[in-house]
Structure 1
């Protein structure tokens, strides 16, 4: 079984170090074979919401996407499943001055 330590720490008032958490689980009879640190794979991906959707003559969608910043970003794509209100994943490495202000 794989258990996320962040989820386990929700049951305690203070964050408990991993080694101490493992000792407590061992006392309860839960065997731990190994501890794996997971990298933040999705740290550069944000969620945006399509607020404007136009199509041009070449069937390319021109989207205005709200990513939680002051200005919306413009995206062009040829996916035919775009619609208003759709939430999409965006890589934030090319977005300048990114400061998130709201959650979706």
Structure 2
């Protein structure tokens, strides 16, 4: 993961916020904790819609780290390469099936 300096580009309206740990209402299992955070302040803090986020779990603390531009580019490139690999494997399987049909 790339280095982050954890400094937002502008001043965030309110640097500390509170929320309550709830449960997953549609998950069926009420013992599964869930934390929801939302608000325009997320974008101010560097978490625009579509931003990849890494989550670090420390003792009694969760740290959210937005992906850098380079990480976003690399993750997108990795996804494209994985898709190409799947397509090539599918084409390979089709070619093998066709060869078996022709030679059989």
Decide: shared fold, TM above 0.5: no
Instruction: Give the structure with the larger helix fraction.
Output: 2
TM-score (norm 2): 0.22
Instruction: Give the structure with the larger strand fraction.
Output: 1
